[in-house]
Structures are given as structure tokens and as C-alpha cells.
Structure 1
């Protein structure tokens, strides 16, 4: 189930009586100045204790029992994932487990706790709107790197490089630093006067790779497309694709750290 479907399911949840829905957004971002000493632990402890204290005072034994079951599950999940925290945790739960959604996310959250008849999905919807499933296409002349992202996290990375002697784009499963002598002829890009050859052939070269990128965008259901590269390469590639880019960023970032790329695209 993708996140859009998950949000729709959560929006349908309606509880009453003692069986409420617990919703939690917990900021665990270590780069947050307010989190330098692990303050999230205090926020979590206080957030859970406040609900428990209220239900004890209200003398609602069944509702208190349900909340305590959820509290145990929440604490277990947090403890099991503490060594692998990112910037936040989003969690929804009911005592009978007909609702359970927990995820570690790579975006800073506003810490909030809810114990109500419905799941409070506002922050989750905002995250999904601001960081939808996207394809970031980085292009640098005869090299292309595709980063598939969702919720500010990289889900997949694919590399292509053009063999200028055969005009074939070759796909690689891992990082590949361009080799100037790539191709059956073994001649360097400098010897081949690559700059002139690039100018003469870039339209044809990008036209040959564009259908593969269009298909990937369709198959992977990208909601947004970003093309990143120097002006001539980025605009030429975007022109050759059937699917329009939501944004063209004129920067050569193919060899940059991927976190820097995400910051540039989603800042």
C-alpha cells in the first residue's frame, strides 16, 4: 500500500467509546538545536504519561487499559528502532491493532500526541504533499543518474552512461565514474574532441534515452520530476522527454553527495 492509499485508509477510521486512536508525531532530529540532549525521550515520556494520568483521574478503566496496551507497543517500537532513528517518527495505533502504522521519516516533525476518535493525519498529509514520490534526473553530458525519492528519502538510484562509439546508453546498478576511454575504440574523450561531438549529437543522444526515463516515470508513478544539470544538458533532456519536468535546476550535481541534491531540490 502506497502512502496516498495509507492516508485514505487512516482518514476513514472512526472510533467511539473506549477504543480511541492514538496518533503520534515525534521529532527525533539530532541536528535540531532543541534535540541535542535527546529531549525527544522526555517529550515521549511526558506525552504518554499525560494521557495515562488523565484517564486514571477520569476513572475510565476500559479506556485506560486500551491506552496502556498502545503505550506498551509504542515504547517497544521506539526502543527497537532507537539506533536507527532519522528525523522523526509517525505512528498511528489502536488497542485491537486494526490500526497500526509506524514509520521513521527523514523530515523534521512538530512533536504532537493525540488520543481521539479519528487519526490525526494533517502532518502526514503535509509531508506527502511536500515530498511526494519523485524522480530526480541528474544529467552531465554523457552521464545520467536517476534518484527515486519519497518523503525526502532515496528509494532507488540508477546510473546510465553513453558509449560514444556505439551511441548506446548503458545502465549500471551502482555508482560508476565515467571513464574517458569508455567504448570499443578505447580513445579518450579528449582525442575524440568530445565537446564538438557532444554539441553535434546531444539532441539525438538525449532523444534515445528519453523514452526509458518516460517509462520509468510512468511505471514508478512519479508525482513530480526534477531535471538537474548544466543549462544545455538539462534543457535538452527535458525537451526530449514526453513527461514535463516540474522543475529544471541548472546546476551540475551529478557527482555531489545525494543529501545535498535532496536539499537543493526540496529546499
Structure 2
């Protein structure tokens, strides 16, 4: 989701008469203590029922019919995507479908329901500020993995691995496989010692080369925040070689951890 484009589009919406805009922010986070029994289903049911009861009392058949049409579509979306639930659901909708936006997000939301002339955008604006385009850089000697994230979800993952024979970094697209350590150098103590000696001598030069590649990724992908994660020496040396400012260095080796665990550790 391009949240900037979506906000701009929704800010221009203003509906009169009975064809109003429905807004929903629904907390479905299974890790939330208040959601252990799937209580989000009850919150959703009660929220929709309250609007329906209010509109029935108002005796505005056109507006009631419009709301019921929206309710039917939102019901269908939730049932079709129930197995893919994450932490929250955001919906903006009108009966004539001029406005229809429904998104499952990996962000905990506050339960809010609105039926009014304009969409309620405060939570969406807060998400924009709290979860911007972010680059997470995992570094371990001759291996670097990049997690490109937006709105607390992974957009892309790729790696750089150093070919120590040619002193060049190769891009490895997709999830990184293999073992940690000195890839391509074998497993004997002699080979490891040889690499460690080369690493001590060449790490600044090696990281300077790959840092320029990472700076370009940061610019092209429009990262607003950058985190470098790795053991003390490697993370600090790489950060020093980068031109882009780094928001935080996390001195922990997480290169071989699952991306979801890394995201949770870094972004919470």
C-alpha cells in the first residue's frame, strides 16, 4: 500500500446525504491479551450492529440500505481472508463502491468504527509516521542481508555475499540460505584462520565498497529509517562507511534468524 497516495485520495472524499463513508480500524492481533479468544469478532459484530440499530431508529431507509450494503461487503472480505489475519484490518467503503479499500496489516490497531461524510484518517496518519519505509541491514563479516520493509511488513529481501577470491560483492535475491560464517572458504581451522586474517586487514575496504551499494538502495527505495544489526565490529565499521544516516545500531548477530523475528526484534 502506498499510504501517501491513499491518504491523498481519501482526504478528498466528502459524501453527503445517505451515502456516507464507512471507516473501520479493527485489532485482530492474536498476541494481544485482550484478543486471546478471538474477541475481535465480537468487537466487529457489535460495532456493525450498533450502527444498524441507530440507523433503524432514525427511519432513513436509504441510509440504512447503504450501510447494509457496505456491511455485507465488509463481512465477505473478512470471511474470505480470515485464515490470513495478522494484527489488524483497515477498511474504507461506500455503498456505491466509489470508495473501497480493505487491507490486512501487520500492525496492532485501536478499534474504531465510523459512518460519516468523510473517512476517519487519524490512525492511518499515525501509521504513516510510525512505520515508514525502512531498511534493516544484517551484517556478519562477508555476508550482508537486507530487509526492505513498509508498514511493518516485508517488501523485499536480498543479500550481498563477498567473493573473497575476487574481492567483489554478489547480489543474492530472495531468502538467504546456507550457514553463517565464512561462506565459500571451507570448514577447516586453517581456512578459517586465513579468512580471519584477511578480514582484519581488508574489512574497511570491503565494507566501503558494499556501503555505496547500500546507500544507493536506500535512495532508490526511499528509506526513511535505517537499522544496522550485527556484532560490534562489523556493524560499526559498515555504518562508518555509509553516507546515509543510520537511526540505530543493534549489536546482535541475527543474520540467520527468520525475517519475522528480526522485524519483531528491531521494529517491535
Same fold (TM over 0.5): yes
**Number of equivalenced pairs:** 265
Q: Considering only aligned residues, what root-mean-square deviation do their CA atoms show, in Å?
A: 1.8
Give 3-state SS (helix, strand or coil) of 1:148's partner.
Answer: strand
Unaligned runs of 5+ in 1: none
Give the 4+ runs in structure 1 shifted more than 3 A: 178-181, 186-190
Distance in 1, Cα, partners of 2:61 & 2:187? 79
- For residue 217 of structure 1, report the CA deviation from its aligned partner: 1.3
Q: Following the alignment from structure 2 to structure 1, what is the Cα–Cα distance between the partners of residues 83 and 160?
A: 35
Q: Which moved more, 1:121-130 or 1:68-77?
A: 121-130
Alignment match, 1:233: 234
8 Å CA contact 1:138, 1:144 repeated in 2:
yes
Name the structure 2 match of 1:119: 119
Structure 1 residue 142 corresponds to structure 2 residue 142: yes
Q: Does 1:182 align with 2:184?
A: yes
1:76 deviates by 0.7
The alpha carbon displacement at 1:190 in A equals 4.2
C-alpha separation in 2, matches of 1:187 and 1:113: 59
- Counterpart CA distance in 1 for 2:26 and 2:52 is 18
In 2: Cα distance, 1:71 partner to 1:264 partner: 37
Q: Would you say the 8 A contact 1:136–1:226 is kept in 2?
A: yes
In 2, the alpha carbon distance for the partners of 1:149 and 1:221 equals 11
Partner of 1:83: 83
- Alpha-carbon displacement from aligned partner over 1:110-131 (angstroms, at most 9, x marks no partner): 1110011111111122122111
2:17 counterpart residue number: 17
SS at match of 1:176: coil
Within-5 A mapping of 1:226-265? 226-265=227-266
Deviates more, 1:34-43 or 1:57-66: 34-43
Task: Give the whole-Å Cα distance in 1 for the aligned partners of 2:75 and 2:115.
Answer: 16
Residue 181 (structure 1) shift: 6.0
